[in-house]
Amino acid sequence: MYITELEAVAFRNLSGVSIRPCREVNLIYGDNAQGKTNLLEALWMFTGCRSFRAAKDAELLQFGKQKARLFLEYYGHDRLQTMQLDIEKGRTFTQNGVRLPSPSRAMGEFLAVVFSPVHLTLVKDGPAARRRFLDNAIGQLKPKYGAALSDYNKALLQRNLVLKDAAYHRELFDTLDVWEDRIAYYGSEILRQRIGYVQRLRNFSADIYAGISRKKETLRVSYAQAVPTEGADRKELYESLLANLKKARKDDLLTGTTSVGPHRDDLAVEIDFLSARTFASQGQQRSAALALKLGEAAVIRNFTNEQPVALLDDVMSELDTARQNYILNHIRDWQVFITCCDPSSVKSLRYGKAFAMKEGRILK
Ligand SMILES: Nc1ncnc2c1ncn2[C@@H]1O[C@H](COP(=O)(O)OP(=O)(O)OP(=O)(O)O)[C@@H](O)[C@H]1O
Ligand SMILES: [Mg+2]
């Protein structure tokens, strides 16, 4: 999948931008606060997802404007297509001239992955950030996953309520069996999907990391859970989760929380067999987060036969020249947009196209 044209009108500080990117690396460079991230955000909006940084659609409208318009021409699903996004009170998508009934219908049409500085939390923060990454990535590929996750969370909430109240209401105690069965039922589906996803992700991410580090370091990602169950089928996962819940019951009654299950699991990220969160340098952490996001794109390609467009915001800082060079010149057969402040990166770019951004405009 690749973009052939983008137009943005009254979107953030982009009053009227029109670009024709190349099929390889597109470098958007300029000083701080000129609109580089805004341009990536404009592209991202066509995925049908919410912005990776704005909470509300209204924030996307240029100050003082009532509406914004974005237009995209792209090649995807074996043909040249157009998508228009009008942002007024809400978001309205028009694909190939046909208005889509709701923004969620746009999902799965134009595919992209985004890496921005907030994604460093993937490596630097606690397990919740990595569980969210897994859940979002799987949710995009398997629409039913979101429902299992929400049913799981409901059952978990109920078990926790009972754990807290059981001391005062002994009759509630019997309902624990029911909630534990539900948790194990939905939880085993979540485990099955997450374990399967990580199996696909890990080779791609390892290859990408090897490239970035010129094979000097290895990246290893694995699904980390209290009781390892790799290779187990859904029934075995259900039985093992249920047995663990029963085993944990006595302790859980004291704390009033559920101590086992996918809500406590993690995606372990290791560089040269050491936890990246605890021991890796800034540049290594950035490289690892990038390898996870590009790995996510590779899994999507594997699954849909479409290569998502990569949007890399401010990926270069903290990386040495060799790593920067890899990102600029070795991600081939893949459309990439990279923002950076340093104009010297343009000289290092061998095949791509560079766009200078100033005050919300692309300089000619
Ligand atoms: N709704 C809006 N309307 C008009 N301008 C906006 C709006 N939202 C943000 N801006 C402005 O857009 C400017 C550029 O933002 P952007 O994040 O794209 O900069 P950048 O080029 O990525 O800078 P940096 O290199 O620091 O990341 C900001 O200075 C901000 O004031
Ligand atoms: Mg920026």
Say what the pLDDT of residue 74 is: 98
**67 Cα–ligand 2 center, Å:** 23
205 lines ligand 1 (CB under 6 A): no
- CA–CA gap between residue 242 and residue 211 (Å, rounded): 42
pLDDT class for 83, splitting at 50, 70, 90? very high
Say what the pLDDT of residue 226 is: 73
Smallest CA separation from ligand 1 atom 30, residue: 33
63 lines ligand 1 (CB under 6 A): yes
Say what the pLDDT of residue 307 is: 95
Ligand nearest to the CA of 116: 2
Ligand nearest to the CA of 341: 1
56 lines ligand 1 (CB under 6 A): no
Give the count of beta carbons closer than 10 Å to the beta carbon of residue 355. 21
pLDDT in tens, 115-164: 999 999 999 999 999 999 999 999 988 889 999 999 999 999 999 999 99
**338 Cα–ligand 1 center, Å:** 16
Say what the pLDDT of residue 53 is: 87
**Per-residue burial over 309-332, b = 16 or more CB atoms within 10 Å of its CB, e = otherwise:** bbbbbbbbebbeeebbbbbbeebe
For residue 41, the ligand 1 atom closest to its alpha carbon is 18
**117 Cα–ligand 2 center, Å:** 9
Instruction: For the domain covering 123-277, report its CATH number.
Output: 1.20.1050.90
For residue 30, the ligand 1 atom closest to its alpha carbon is 21
**229 Cα–ligand 1 center, Å:** 46
Mutate to test the pocket of ligand 1, among 27, 34, 313 (most ligand atoms within 8 A of CB): 34
**159 Cα–ligand 1 center, Å:** 45
87 lines ligand 1 (CB under 6 A): no
12 lines ligand 1 (CB under 6 A): yes
Residue ranges of the domains in the chain? 2-111+306-363, 123-277
Look at the block and give the residue holding tokens 């907030």: 118
Q: Where are the alpha helices (DSSP H) in 221-281?
A: 234-255, 276-279
User: By mean pLDDT, which of 103-117, 217-231, 333-347 is the weakest?
Assistant: 217-231
Smallest CA separation from ligand 1 atom 29, residue: 33
Which protein residues have a CB closer than 5 Å to ligand 2 (ion)?
37
34 lines ligand 1 (CB under 6 A): yes
For residue 65, the ligand 1 atom closest to its alpha carbon is 3
**36 Cα–ligand 2 center, Å:** 6
pLDDT in tens, 275-311: 999 999 999 999 999 999 999 999 999 999 999 999 9
Say what the pLDDT of residue 167 is: 79
pLDDT class for 102, splitting at 50, 70, 90? very high
For residue 357, the ligand 1 atom closest to its alpha carbon is 21
Which region holds residue 291: left if phi is over 0, alpha if psi is between -120 and 50, else beta? alpha
For residue 60, the ligand 1 atom closest to its alpha carbon is 1
- Name the pTM for this structure: 0.92
**118 Cα–ligand 2 center, Å:** 11
Burial of residue 285 (number of CB atoms within 10 Å: 0-12, 13-18, 19+):
buried
CA angle 104–28–311, rounded 5-degree value? 35
Mean pLDDT for the stretch of residues 86-102:
96
Residue 359 has pLDDT above 80, yes or no: yes
- Share of residues in the chain with pLDDT > 90 (%): 85
Q: Which CATH class is domain 2-111+306-363?
A: alpha beta
Mutate to test the pocket of ligand 1, among 14, 17, 37, 340 (most ligand atoms within 8 A of CB): 37
More confident site: 228 or 134: 134
Q: Give the chain's radius of gyration (CA, Å).
A: 23
Q: In 167-248, at which residue ranges do the beta strands (DSSP E only) sit?
A: 219-224
Smallest CA separation from ligand 1 atom 19, residue: 33
